[in-house]
């Protein structure tokens, strides 16, 4: 019998006793490793928020969209159901201004420009980080320098326990509306090389009941065409090399077939649109230090994505609409940092990318986009002061098979950030930042049938911000206390919007947006007698985002659609040797789904409560974690997007085994 199979059997034999209190006979002696909860960095010159996914699970958070909502200033647009599109916008800049990186390499969607974070699974993620302006890490690709905000996703690695060279983790989730999701990870350590294989499968009917008000009547129905079936797999290789080098190679595959639940309007909850997605990428990142004052990073990536959109209805010729889109991108990046003097670091990065789009859509010109991004930045630290400054140069040109191609685009965008520690040894910091960014029109903006406009200009965005951060435990039982407050002002001009014309819609540059807000975060933890630990987190955003496009318009100086003036969340975790209890509440104020802020366009405020119970049982050299979650405890009826009702009360149970 192999050692791996023997260990699995040894773990499963006493499983019948897992409901009882663990005894010494169920656990071998070993070394327990613990770490303090990840808190928001207070020394950063720009706002950076970090979430520990292991802690989020104890709060009952089990998908990427719910996790990202915990960040102050982040808004996730959710079209309902597991299969609905989920995009993130930071400080109302728009989803196309937010970059998403996976293990340090940027994810892209040249066609639409928005990353669907619903495709990422929390099962194999260790941490999430949201940086506004510049990231704290200077050694990074130029593409991340060029974005207004960066959501960084860091994958978890296999845990090798008790000196083993093989690691195994597996879990299965079951929940309301026919939801089932098994997941497995196998890891192997060979010298300085670690190899891991991950895979998960998801299926759900998604036919949850909902209540929605339509005019003066209340509609009680079940969601239709909200089913999903998906498969996701990853392979990772991590290796330590000479010159303090690290190599990380990732292969990623995703396939899904899902219904796209439509808007529930005119008392009609039926939708027939179906979407099939298939995407994969291979990426590699190599970091090393060729000399004492130098650090170098090289990245390469190839990505391919295919989707098939199918819908039935009498409005289509032949009763069926079907379109296939395929996009591909090749990407390479080189970056280096140099520290010529104590306290001074200089960084440079150069990226290049080639992206293509082919489609069965009528009159698609099959565009090819060539992108070059160069970034130069510097950081100087001395005493109480730290200063960061940089400039990014972007050049974009395109080739099309037919018609007029857009004019080449070249933009230089600067940034600067300051951090001051005025009270000496006290962890109290004052910070300020400015950054100018832009986002180029996407292939959809430029070429979509009868809608795209090839003369579009890029959106320009200016970000200003000032903030205070403080961290200090106040008494012995308090393990940590971290507070941050950041006020900001953003201005977006040449906003790309769709406006109606005589027979269809058209993309135009039409808009100026003024955004002012305040982000507050807090985190604290307590160590109590009887080995009880309590963690408390909170985040709140106050925001005023108004349209300054046309002084004669009825919506002039009114709040932008889907922008609450107040939103926030609170999370409480109580961990005991026997059970961990997690409770969280997410609150969103009233919003408007149309440009005019009138009662007819209002979407009501809501609060969503979640309760989770977690129990970990040690079984000899293995562990079994059981978790039960109830989401939307109050069975609140609410919408994130108008006419797209969200689920009411739901449940989920998870069993996770780790060798």
Cα angle 96-76-550, degrees, rounded to a multiple of 5:
60
Token output for 25: 């006979």
In our burial notation (b when 16+ CB lie closer than 10 A, e otherwise), range 445-457 reads bbbbeeebbbebb
The pLDDT of 315-338, averaged and rounded, is 91
Beta-bridge partners for 365: none
Q: Please answer whether residues 144 and 101 qualify as being in contact, where contact means their C-beta atoms are separated by less than 8 angstroms.
A: yes
More confident position, 22 or 68: 68
CA atoms within 13 A on the CB side of 21: 5
pLDDT at 28: 32
Q: At a CB cut-off of 8 Å and minimum separation 6, what does 618 contact?
A: 22, 26, 27
Look at residue 372 and tell me whether its pLDDT is greater than 80: yes
Phi, psi of 336 (to 5 degrees): -150, 150
Nearest residue to 204 via CA among 268, 256, 253, 254: 256
pLDDT at 382: 92
Q: Which residue has the tokens 């890490």?
A: 137
pLDDT, tens only, 604-654: 999 999 999 999 998 888 999 999 999 999 999 888 888 888 889 999 999
The C-alpha atoms of residue 97 and residue 513 are separated, in whole angstroms, by 14
Q: Please answer whether residues 377 and 390 qualify as being in contact, where contact means their C-beta atoms are separated by less than 8 angstroms.
A: yes
pLDDT, tens only, 203-226: 999 889 988 776 667 778 888 888
pLDDT, tens only, 119-152: 888 888 999 999 998 888 999 999 999 999 999 9
pLDDT, tens only, 43-55: 888 889 998 888 8
Q: What are the helix (H) ranges across 183-279?
A: none
Mean pLDDT of the chain: 86
pLDDT at 359: 87
Strands (E), 140-244: 149-155, 166-175, 179-190, 193-204, 209-214, 217-222, 228-241
Cα angle 28-34-40, degrees, rounded to a multiple of 5:
160
Look at residue 118 and tell me whether its pLDDT is greater than 50: yes
This prediction's pTM: 0.87
Is residue 174 helix, strand or coil?
Answer: strand
pLDDT at 645: 86
Q: At a CB cut-off of 8 Å and minimum separation 6, what does 222 contact?
A: 207, 208, 209, 210, 269
Look at residue 267 and tell me whether its pLDDT is greater than 80: no
pLDDT, tens only, 429-475: 999 999 999 998 888 788 776 566 777 888 999 999 999 999 999 99
Is residue 447 helix, strand or coil?
Answer: helix
Q: 24-29, long-range: CB within 8 Å, 24+ apart, which pairs?
A: 26/617, 26/618, 26/619, 26/620, 27/618, 27/620, 28/162, 28/620, 28/621
Nearest residue to 54 via CA among 35, 69, 73, 40: 35
pLDDT at 503: 42
Longest dimension (CA), the chain: 80
Nearest residue to 271 via CA among 313, 225, 205, 317: 225
């Amino acid at each position: 019998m192999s050692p791996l199979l023997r260990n699995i059997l040894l773990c499963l034999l006493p499983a019948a006793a897992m409901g009882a209190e663990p005894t010494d006979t169920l656990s071998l002696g070993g070394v327990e490793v613990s770490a303090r909860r990840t808190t928001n960095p207070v020394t950063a010159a720009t706002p950076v928020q970090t979430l520990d996914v292991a802690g989020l699970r104890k709060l009952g958070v089990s998908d990427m969209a719910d996790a990202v909502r915990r960040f102050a200033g982040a808004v996730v647009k959710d079209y309902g159901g597991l299969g609905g599109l989920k995009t993130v916008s930071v400080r109302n800049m728009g989803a196309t201004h937010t970059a998403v990186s996976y293990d340090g390499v940027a994810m892209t969607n040249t066609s639409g420009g928005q990353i669907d974070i619903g495709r990422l699974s929390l099962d194999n993620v260790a941490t999430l980080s949201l940086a506004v302006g510049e990231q704290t890490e200077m050694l990074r690709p130029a593409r991340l320098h060029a974005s207004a905000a960066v959501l960084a996703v860091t994958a978890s690695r296999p845990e090798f326990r008790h000196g083993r060279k093989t690691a195994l983790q597996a879990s299965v989730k079951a929940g309301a509306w026919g939801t089932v999701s098994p997941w497995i990870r196998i890891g192997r350590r060979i010298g300085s090389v670690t190899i891991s294989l991950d895979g998960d499968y998801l299926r759900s009917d998604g036919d949850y009941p909902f209540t929605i008000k339509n005019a003066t009547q209340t509609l009680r129905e079940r969601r239709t065409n909200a089913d999903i079936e998906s498969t996701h797999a990853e392979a990772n290789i991590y290796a330590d090399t000479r010159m303090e080098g690290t190599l990380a190679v990732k292969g990623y595959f995703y396939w899904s077939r899902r219904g796209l639940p439509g808007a529930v309007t005119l008392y009609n909850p039926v939708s027939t649109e179906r979407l099939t997605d298939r995407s994969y990428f291979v990426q590699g990142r190599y970091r090393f230090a060729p000399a004492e004052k130098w650090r170098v990073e090289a990245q390469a990536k190839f990505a391919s994505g295919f989707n098939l959109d199918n819908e039935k209805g009498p409005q289509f010729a032949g009763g069926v609409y079907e379109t296939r889109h395929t996009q591909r991108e090749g990407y390479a990046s080189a970056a280096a940092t140099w520290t010529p003097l104590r306290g001074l670091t200089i960084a440079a990065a150069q990226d290049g990318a080639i992206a293509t789009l082919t489609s069965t859509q009528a009159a698609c010109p099959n565009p090819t986009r060539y992108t070059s991004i160069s970034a130069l930045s510097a950081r100087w630290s001395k005493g109480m002061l730290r200063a960061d400054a940089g400039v990014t140069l972007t050049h974009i040109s395109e080739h099309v098979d037919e018609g007029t191609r857009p004019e080449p685009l070249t933009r230089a965008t600067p940034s600067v950030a300051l951090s001051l520690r005025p009270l000496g040894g006290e962890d109290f910091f004052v910070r300020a930042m400015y950054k100018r960014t832009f986002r180029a029109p996407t292939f959809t903006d430029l070429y979509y049938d009868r809608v795209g406009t090839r003369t579009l200009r890029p959106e320009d965005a200016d970000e200003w911000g000032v903030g205070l951060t403080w961290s200090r435990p106040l008494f012995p039982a308090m393990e940590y206390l971290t507070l941050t407050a950041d006020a900001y002002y953003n201005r977006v001009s040449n906003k790309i919007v769709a406006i109606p014309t005589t027979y269809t819609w058209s993309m135009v540059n039409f808009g100026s947006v003024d955004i002012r807000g305040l982000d507050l975060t807090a985190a604290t933890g307590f160590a109590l007698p009887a080995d009880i630990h309590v963690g408390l987190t909170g985040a709140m955003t106050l925001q005023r985002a108004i349209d300054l496009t046309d002084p004669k318009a009825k919506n002039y100086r009114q709040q932008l659609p889907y922008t609450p003036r107040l939103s926030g969340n609170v999370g409480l975790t109580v961990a005991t040797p026997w059970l961990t209890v997690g409770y969280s509440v997410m609150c969103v104020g009233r919003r408007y789904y149309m440009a005019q802020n009138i009662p007819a366009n209002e979407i009501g405020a809501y609060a969503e409560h979640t309760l989770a119970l977690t129990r970990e049982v040690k079984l000899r050299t293995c562990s079994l974690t059981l978790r039960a979650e109830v989401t939307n405890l109050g069975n609140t009826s609410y919408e994130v997007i108008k006419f797209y009702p969200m689920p009411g009360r739901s449940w989920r149970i998870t069993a996770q085994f780790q060798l």
